Amino acid sequence: MKKWIFLFALALFFGCAKNNPEFVPLSLNWFEYQGDLAAIDSSYKPATVDSSFEETCLISMTRALMESKNLRECEESAQKYNVQYFGILVDGKSVLEFRGQSASIHEILDMEKEPLPLNKSKNCTFKARCDGKTATLID
């Protein structure tokens, strides 16, 4: 009996694997931006976030990016992303903002001190925010 259950589970596993070609693994390089927020947006007010808030947001953001149809549809070479994040105040509450773009070997940028220029012509860019519970793509 155990043999049949094992064979059924194995057949189900391989059957499902073949029917779901949409899974695209993403490689995410995280960088906490510690530069001047005014260089990104003059209206941003800095906020301090603790490590558990940051950890929760990184996990939520990873999930949101893995589920993003737009990022899955980017060309295969764009499945590696550089992601900057920083704390800001939005309506009096601390949130983490994320800015990401497909990584390029040719880009030499100190991601912790220089703002990531979101080049729309390069495609595969995004902005997102996390309130400590959920991450939401905003652009």
- Domain count of the fold of the chain: 1
Q: What is the DSSP letter of 3?
A: H
Residue 36, domain member (yes or no): yes
pTM of the model: 0.76
Count of C-beta atoms within a 10 Å radius of residue 57: 25
Residue 8, domain member (yes or no): no
pLDDT of 107-134, one tens digit each? 678 889 999 888 766 568 889 999 988 8
Rounded to the nearest angstrom, the gap between the alpha carbon of residue 35 and the centroid of all alpha carbons in its chain is: 20
> Which residue range forms the structural domain that includes residue 73?
24-137
pLDDT of 11-41, one tens digit each? 445 555 544 445 567 788 999 999 999 999 9
Residue 57, domain member (yes or no): yes
Residue 72, domain member (yes or no): yes
pLDDT of 58-98, one tens digit each? 999 999 988 888 777 776 555 788 899 999 999 999 999 99
Residue 119, domain member (yes or no): yes
